[in-house]
Chain A
């Protein structure tokens, strides 16, 4: 069983939509959770991180962690064409573990 599971998509939404990206993980020892964004032909860049259960907001982005369900989510409000990218969830336990990434396209 993989440490982190992520729906690869692809996901295609109209501009202005709310996007929900999700990952599940298997080991309750994970305590640090991240979301990375990767544009085509670029390396991933850190979007958000959180340690605790609950929500963390940063502008149009909200990271949500539910440790009891081992479930993490990233919500994007008022999605823009510039949000079109692959989003990877990441977790840390001695080393970093990443999901396979969800490809998102926001259509103008």
Chain B
């Protein structure tokens, strides 16, 4: 079974630009979560989508948004990029049908975003 895939793997943008990252979950997984990983703050939860609906959201500004398509693929968008948005963005998929489920999250390799 193919794992979680994320595209692109690396991205360089400048301040003020916007960016869209893509995630394809494991086949059959309908829950997709997004995380930001930085050395100082670690892995921080951005939001979770299930069946095209956002069902949980972390404590990030509105510049961070996402969506999920009917095939469970998900995109994350960051508008008006800031230097502090430089991070590894990870997507994770799971079978979780309930919010807060303990079903294992399977992570993709991440997209490394650098904001200059």
Residues of A within 8 A of B (CB): 6, 8, 32, 41-46, 49, 88, 90, 92-101
Contacts and interface: CB of A to CB of B under 8 A. Distances in A.
Nearest to A92: B102
25 contacts: A8-B39, A32-B102, A42-B109, A43-B92, A43-B108, A45-B106, A45-B107, A46-B105, A49-B104, A92-B100, A92-B102, A93-B100, A94-B56, A95-B100, A96-B33, A96-B45, A96-B105, A98-B35, A98-B42, A99-B42, A99-B43, A100-B39, A100-B40, A100-B42, A101-B42
Interface of B: 4, 33, 35, 39-45, 48, 56, 58, 90, 92, 99-100, 102, 104-110
Contact of B90 (A8, A44, A97): A44
A7 B34 CA distance: 24
Contacts of A95: 45, 48, 56, 58, 100
B31 to A, nearest CB: 11
Given A94-B56, A95-B48, A98-B43, A49 B102 contact: yes
Task: Name A's interface SS.
Answer: strand
Contacts, number: 53
A11 B106 CA distance: 26
A41 B109 contact: yes
Given A94-B100, A95-B100, A43 B107 contact: yes
Contacts of A8: 39
Contacts of B110: 43
Q: Which of A6, A43, A49, A94 has the largest number of chain B CB atoms within 10 A?
A: A43
A93 B101 CA distance: 9
A100 B56 contact: no
Contacts of B42: 6, 88, 98-101
Contacts of B100: 92-95
> Ordered nearest first, which 7 A-B pairs have the shortest CB separation?
A43-B107, A100-B42, A98-B43, A94-B100, A44-B107, A95-B45, A32-B102
